[in-house]
Amino acid sequence: MLIRAAALVSGDGYKLQAVLDAVYFKEIPDFELVAVIAPEKNNKAMKRAISAGVPAFVVDPELFPNMTSHSMAVANKLRDMDIDLVILAGYNLELGVIPFQYRNRIIGTCPSLIPAFEEEPDDQVFHAVLERGVKITGATAFFADNDGRVGSIILQRAVMVRPDDTPETLRSRVMEEAEWKLLIEALSLYCQGRLSHHGNRVLIAEEKK
């Protein structure tokens, strides 16, 4: 069965580019990126989508009285397009009602080994890692919970912290060595039907031969 996916994006679109590259090289089976949705028009993520020929839509939060009504508009857009799977590709707004309509069907990544630094904003994680003298960090692929935050963990990958790392070099290496790869792997596992929920745990079935 073909999985129809939409990516919610903000900002630079690096995570989105990883998905676009995976689509181009056919790395995700039975997968179609139907749309990209962003809260603003002129960001790099939207430009990446348009350059790749993926339909891009703007749902501007300034047109709505509050974030709940904005999230309802996004959810309606997803439903109108018959979206099966939602990808968090750097989306920085509240998900609001979306997780209730897409329970266990929203996949994202974060640049830490959850639950480590779970309360830190993504752009502050690497400062916190270096300040604490952490030796190993990494990234986590997850299903969003009902609050739109990190819920059930799908995959994790470790990255060594080097003595000469800065927040910028560590961020770049975590993205390249872990976060982008985990996102594509998690999407692939989902599309293959290999992920199952058991309480708060996600189990991965063996690949069928």
**pLDDT of res. 191:** 97
Beta strand 136-144 with 106-110: parallel, antiparallel or unpaired? Answer: antiparallel
Based on the fold, state whether residues 88 and 112 are members of the same structural domain.
Answer: no
176: tokens are 């390249």
Measure the CA–CA gap between 95 and 113, rounded to whole angstroms: 22
Based on the fold, state whether residues 98 and 177 are members of the same structural domain.
Answer: no
Based on the fold, state whether residues 112 and 21 are members of the same structural domain.
Answer: no
**pLDDT of res. 98:** 97
**pLDDT of res. 209:** 66
What pLDDT digit, counting tens, does each position of 160-190 carry?
A: 999 999 999 999 999 999 999 999 999 999 9
Based on the fold, state whether residues 4 and 79 are members of the same structural domain.
Answer: yes
SS3 152: strand
Is residue 74 a part of any domain in this protein? Answer: yes
Angle at 9 between CA 7 and CA 15, to 5 degrees: 80
Asked if 168 contacts 127 with a C-beta cutoff of 8 angstroms, the reply is no
Is residue 175 a part of any domain in this protein? Answer: yes
The tally of domains found in the chain comes to 2
**pLDDT of res. 12:** 87
Measure the CA–CA gap between 68 and 178, rounded to whole angstroms: 32
Asked if 31 contacts 5 with a C-beta cutoff of 8 angstroms, the reply is yes
Measure the CA–CA gap between 151 and 148, rounded to whole angstroms: 8
Residues of the chain short of pLDDT 50, as ranges, are none
**pLDDT of res. 83:** 98
Is residue 51 a part of any domain in this protein? Answer: yes
Query: What range does the domain containing 198 cover?
Result: 108-141+155-209
Reported pTM: 0.96
**pLDDT of res. 1:** 85
Based on the fold, state whether residues 137 and 191 are members of the same structural domain.
Answer: yes
